[in-house]
Amino acid sequence: MELNRTELRCVLSITVVLLLSSHAVAYDPLDPTGNITIKWDVMSWTADGYVAVVTMNNFQMYRQIMSPGWTMGWTWAKKEVIWSMVGAQATEQGDCSKFKGNIPHCCKRTPAVVDLLPGVPYNQQIANCCKGGVVASYGQDPAAAVSAFQVSVGLSGTSNKTVKLPNNFTLLGPGLGYTCGPAKVVPSTTFLSADKRRKTQALMTWNVTCTYSQFLASKHPSCCVSFSSFYNDTIIPCPSCACGCENKNCVKYVHTPPHPVFKSPIPNLSSILPPTRPWHRSDSKILSTPGINTPKKDNTPLLQCTHHMCPVRVHWHVKLNYKDYWRAKVAITNFNYRLNYTQWTLVVQHPNLDNVTEVFSFEYKPLVAYGSINDTGMFYGMKYYNDVLMEAGAYGNVQSEVLLRKDADAFTFKQGWAFPRKVYFNGDECMLPPPDVYPYLPNSSPVSARVILHNLAAPLLALLLLQMAAPW
C-alpha cells in the first residue's frame, strides 16, 4: 500500500517528534559513548539504614562541568532521611520536626545535593570531593573527571533485599541538559588495599547513567564560527542572531587604538580576529557598576553587543600554503563579561586532522571514536598558560596555529574544503556559516555583473571613438 504525500509528511513529523522526545537526542556522534555515571556503593549497614559512597564519573571526552558546579537530585522510594554527609551537603534540610535528639541532615523526599567548596576542614572531606562541583572532561584530565561524597541514609532497608533504590535522578551540570536513567543494580565494586595484597568489595552497588542533550540545555547555540583565508579578501562572519537576539541587555564597545594599528595584509581582518593589545574601551557605564562581573545563580550572561549575540566566537583562518603543508589559525573570543571559561575545550572535525604535524600554544588530542576514522580532534589550553579563557574584554581571547601535512589525494582549497565540518566549544556545537558563502578561490569565483559590463564597455567605447575620429 502506497502512502500519499500528506500521509508521508505526517509519518515523518511523528517520527521526528518521537526522536526529539526520546533519549536519542542525547547521542553525540563525535563522542558516542560519552556519559556521566553515578555509582552508589553501600559500604556498611547501620541500625536503620546504610552508609554509601556516591561517585560521579565523567566519561565525556570534551564536556566538563564548570563553576558553580553540579547539583544532584533524586526521589526516595520510601521515607528515607539523610543522617549525615561527608564531602557534600543537601541544599535544604526540610521538615525534621518529628525527630527528637539527633536531627537528620536532610528530611526532604527529593533532596538536592551539591559539592563542598575547596578548603573545608579535613574531617568533612573524602577523596575526590570538595572542588566546588567542578569536574573536568575525561579527555582533558581523567584524574579530575571524578567527584565523590559519602552519605548516611536512615529509615531505609538494612540488607540487599530490603533496600529500595532511589529513583527520578536529576543532574544539573551546572545548567539543564542532562537526562538520567533509572538506577540499576550492578555487580559490587571491588577495592584494593594500599599494599594491593587484599581485595574487598561493596555490600551493594547500583549505577545511574546520565547523558547530555544540547536541545534540552538551550533552544539556541552558545557559540558561532567565522571564516577567512589568505586567498580571498572576504571575511565570513558568524550568522546574524546565531545565538538568538532575545537578550537586549548588552554592552556596546568601541574600537579606539591609542596609536597606529598594525594593518593585516587581509583587509578588515582586525574586525574579526581578537586584538593583541587592550585597545577596546566601553562606551557604557554598565561595566563600572560594582559586582557587575559577578556570575548570577541562573548563569545569566552579560554580553558584548554583536550581530551574532553569542557568548563565544571561534574564528578559523586559512593562513599559509606550503608545498607539502598548510597552516590554519584558530582564535576563540569570549563576549561574556560574567564568565571565565576554565579548562575550556574546542573540538573540530576536519578530514585533514589525520595529518596534524604541530599545534602551537594549544594542547591537542585526537578523538578516534570510529576505529580508523581520524578526522576529529580536541584542542585545549596549556596548564597555567592559556587554560582559562578570560571574561570579555581586551584579554578575553586565546589563539593558536595548526600545521597540517597535505594529503595529495584529498587536499584542495576549492569549495571550502579547508574549513571545519563541525566545531564544538565546551561540548556544545557551534553554528557555522552556510556553505555557499565560504571564501572561494579567485579563479573559481563567480563572474560579477561589474566585470561583465566592464568587458563589454571597453570595446564599445573604442569603437565609438574610432567612429568619431573617422572623416565624414
Mean pLDDT highest for which of 2-11, 154-163, 455-464? 154-163
What 3-state DSSP class applies to 6?
A: helix
The one-character DSSP state at 431 is B
Can you tell me the distance from the alpha carbon of 173 to that of 34, in angstroms, rounded to the nearest whole number?
Answer: 15
Let me know: does 404 contact 356? Beta carbons within 8 Å: yes
The one-character DSSP state at 450 is H
Q: For position 101, what pLDDT does the model report?
A: 87
Query: What's the sign of the alpha-carbon dihedral 358, 364, 370, 371?
Result: positive
Instruction: Find, among 198, 172, 169, 173, the residue nearest to 74 by Cα.
Output: 169
Can you tell me the distance from the alpha carbon of 39 to that of 291, in angstroms, rounded to the nearest whole number?
Answer: 39
Q: Identify the band that residue 133 occupies on the pLDDT scale cut at 50, 70 and 90.
A: very high
Q: What is the three-state SS of 116-170? A: CCCCCCHHHCCCCCCCCCCECCCCCCHHHCEEEEEEEEECCCCCCCCCCCCEEEE
Q: For position 111, what pLDDT does the model report?
A: 97
SS3 content of the chain, % helix, strand, coil (to 5): 15, 35, 50
Can you tell me the distance from the alpha carbon of 235 to that of 266, in angstroms, rounded to the nearest whole number?
Answer: 9
Mean pLDDT highest for which of 30-34, 275-279, 311-315, 451-455? 311-315
Average pLDDT in the 371-375 region? 85
Residue 65 — φ and ψ, nearest 5°? -110, 115
Can you tell me the distance from the alpha carbon of 230 to that of 318, in angstroms, rounded to the nearest whole number?
Answer: 6
Q: Identify the band that residue 459 occupies on the pLDDT scale cut at 50, 70 and 90.
A: low
Let me know: does 346 contact 332? Beta carbons within 8 Å: yes
Q: Which domains does the chain have, with CATH numbers?
A: 36-217 (2.60.40.290), 223-252+300-437 (2.60.40.290)
pLDDT tens track for 2-51: 445 445 454 444 444 444 444 434 678 899 999 999 999 999 999 999 99
Q: For position 271, what pLDDT does the model report?
A: 46
Q: For position 343, what pLDDT does the model report?
A: 93
276 pLDDT exceeds 50?
no
Q: Can you give the pTM of this predicted structure?
A: 0.81
Let me know: does 169 contact 180? Beta carbons within 8 Å: yes
Let me know: does 56 contact 38? Beta carbons within 8 Å: yes
E strands in 335-391: 341-342, 345-349, 356-360, 362-366, 376-381, 388-389
Strands 223-229 and 312-321: parallel
Name the strand (E) or helix (H) holding 460: helix 449-469
Tally Cβ neighbours within 10 Å of residue 100.
Answer: 7
Cα 225 versus chain centre, distance: 14
Name the strand (E) or helix (H) holding 416: none
Average pLDDT in the 222-247 region? 93
pLDDT greater at residue 111 or residue 250:
111
Q: Identify the band that residue 372 occupies on the pLDDT scale cut at 50, 70 and 90.
A: confident
454 pLDDT exceeds 60?
no
Let me know: does 354 contact 367? Beta carbons within 8 Å: no
The one-character DSSP state at 201 is E
